[in-house]
Amino acid sequence: MSEEKGNKFDRVIAAGENRYKVPGMYRDWFLDYASYVMLDRAVPYIEDGLKPVQRRILHALKINEDGRYHKVAGIVGDTMKFHPHGDASIYDALVSIQQKELLIDGQGNWGNILTGDGAAAMRYIEAKLSKFALEVVFNPKITEWVPTYDRANMEPVALPIKFPFLLAQGSKGIGVGLKILILPHNFNELLDAAIAALKGEGFDLYPDFPTAGIADCSKYNGGLRGSRVRIRATITKSDKKTLVIKDIPFGETTGSVIASIVAANDSGKIKIKRIDDYSSDKVEIVLQLYNDISPDKTIDALYACTKCAVTISPNSVVIKDGKPEFMTINDILSYCAFHTQDLFEKELNVTLSELEDDWHRMSLEKIFFEMKVYRVLENDAKTWEAQIDDVMNTMLEYQHIVKKPISNDDILKLVEKPVRKISKFDIKAADERLRSTEDQIAKVKYNLEHLTDYTIAHFKNIKNKYGAAHPRLTRIEEFENINAQKVVVANAKLYANFATGFVGLDEKNIDNATFVCECSDIDDIIVFMKNGDYYVTSVKDKTFIGKDIIHISVFKKGDNRTIYNTIYQDGKGGIYFVKRFAVTSITKNKFYNFTQGKPDSTALYFSANPNGEAETIRIHFRPRPKLKKTSENYDFANIAVKGRSSRGNIISRFPIQRIQLKAKGVSTIGGKDIWFDADINRLNDAQRGQYLG
Q: Which residues are catalytic?
A: 124
The H-or-E segment that residue 287 falls in is: strand 285-288
d(C-alpha 328, C-alpha 341), whole Å: 20
SS (H, E, C) 626-677: CCCCCEEEEEHHHCCEECCCCCCEEEECCCEEEEEEEEEEEECCCCCCCEEE
Q: Are strands 228-232 and 502-504 parallel, antiparallel or unpaired?
A: unpaired
Contact 482, 300 (CB under 8 A): yes
Asked if 542 and 511 count as a contact pair (C-beta separation under 8 A), the reply is: no
- The Cα–Cα gap between 174 and 219 comes to 23
Distances (CA, A) of 22 to 12, 18, 27, 102, 120: 11, 9, 9, 47, 46
Contact (CB, 8 A) for 95 and 104: no
The letter for the amino acid at 1 is M
Q: Identify whether the C-beta of residue 497 lies closer than 8 Å to the C-beta of residue 543.
A: no
- CA distances from residue 672 to 62, 482, 612, 675, 679 in whole angstroms, order as listed: 69, 20, 11, 10, 21
Beta carbons of 342 and 520 less than 8 angstroms apart? no
Integer Rg of the chain from CA: 40
**Whole-angstrom Cα distance, residue 484 to residue 171?**
32
Is the Cα torsion angle 456, 459, 461, 463 positive or negative in sign? negative
List the end-to-end C-alpha distance of the chain, in Å, as a whole number. Answer: 78
Angle at alpha carbon of residue 138, lines to 135 and 141, rounded to 5° = 125
Rounded CA-CA distance 617/605 in Å is 10
Burial class, 652, CB count within 10 angstroms (exposed 0-12 / middle 13-18 / buried 19+): middle
